Chain A
Amino acid sequence: MITFAFYLFAVLITGLFLVTVMSKNVLYAMTSLAAGMVLISGLFFILGADFLGVVQLIVYVGAVMAVYAFAMMFFDLSRDVEERHDKPWLIFLLGGGIALTLVVMFAAPIMGEAVHAIYPPVAGATNPQAVGLVLFTKYLLPFEVASVMLLVAMIAGIILAGKKMEISLSAMDEDILPDTKENA
């Protein structure tokens, strides 16, 4: 059963992400990306990482995709996006080659069997409990740093996107647009 679920999720995720990468329509790309992320959280649940799966659903599918959807309203994305068309084989060769190199790099310690568990899950604890125990003891400092980073990112997002909010680009006529572009 788990084998079937893994292969089903794997095929679906690969197909959906291929749509994300290959599609010319931004809306299709975003929708398939969100669907692929939902299925990835399914893989997390299979792996027993319950809390990670829930966080993936809430943060990625909920927050990140919502932010993308909001950002899409700022841009004119009704027409198809342009692609690079020179030497498509080179792109696939480069992408595949670099990814293969990275996989070999990260698989090397596993091949050498040099991986040892530092923080095994506490016996008798569910996954969220075990995660909490490790996160708030061994990884407390990175956790705090990450929270400060999120605060900085939030302030940066507000300031960057909120600049010149009173100028509406969509409500403007076409002939006024170049004028404001020079002043911006």
Chain B
Amino acid sequence: MITLNHYLILSGLLFAIGLVGVVRRKNLLMLFFATEIMLNAANLAFAATSSYYHDLTGQMFAFFIIAVAASEVAVGLGLLILLYKKYGSINLDDFTIMKG
């Protein structure tokens, strides 16, 4: 029998994978992928709680997270294209303009 804890543990695991990706990646596009994983993990936790407590609020928040993720991708990739046109790279280390 699958309980809510199973889903929450899976969601925590996926969130940890996403966080490792965010800390580890230097390529900005890969960084975006890692944030998508984290958002998906949160969505999974919301849906599971919503289902096991017979409450639709969790699903509502999952919808709003999806809306936020969609607009994040639109704006973020636009900024990424601008950065690439300016610096010729999407590597985070190439954007260090303060030398200290």
Residues of A within 8 A of B (CB): 2-3, 6, 10, 13-14, 17-18, 20-21, 26, 29-30, 33, 36-37, 40, 43-44, 47-49, 51-52, 55-56, 59-60, 63-64, 67-68, 71-72, 74-75, 77, 81-84, 88, 91-92, 94-96, 98-100, 102-103, 106-107, 110, 115, 117-121, 130-131, 134-135, 138-139, 142, 146, 149-150, 152-154, 156-161, 163-164, 167, 169, 177, 181, 184
Contact = CB atoms under 8 A, between A and B. Distances in A.
> Interface residues of B toward A: which range?
35 or more
A33 B20 contact: no
A40 to B, nearest CB: 5
Interface string B10-32: 11111111111111111101101
A59 B39 CA distance: 13
A131 B59 contact: yes
A73 to B, nearest CB: 10
A72 B29 contact: yes
A164 to B, nearest CB: 6
Judged by DSSP, the binding face of B is helix
A156 B90 contact: no
A160 B66 contact: no
B21 A21 contact: yes
B47 to A, nearest CB: 5
Nearest to A88: B24
Contacts of B90: 75
Contacts of B37: 17, 20-21, 33, 36
Interface string B74-86: 1101111110111
Q: Identify the interface centre among A18, A95, A158: most chain B CB within 10 Å of its CB.
A: A95
Given A13-B14, A91-B23, A60 B69 contact: yes
A51 to B, nearest CB: 8
Contacts of A121: 54, 56
B29 A134 contact: no
A34 B32 CA distance: 13
A83 B24 contact: yes
Contact of B25 (A55, A83, A131, A146): A83
B29 A71 contact: yes
Contacts of B69: 59-60, 64
B27 A81 contact: yes
8 contacts: A21-B34, A55-B63, A103-B12, A119-B57, A120-B55, A134-B60, A153-B71, A158-B78
Nearest to B86: A184
Contacts of A100: 12, 16
B91 A82 contact: yes
B84 A74 contact: yes
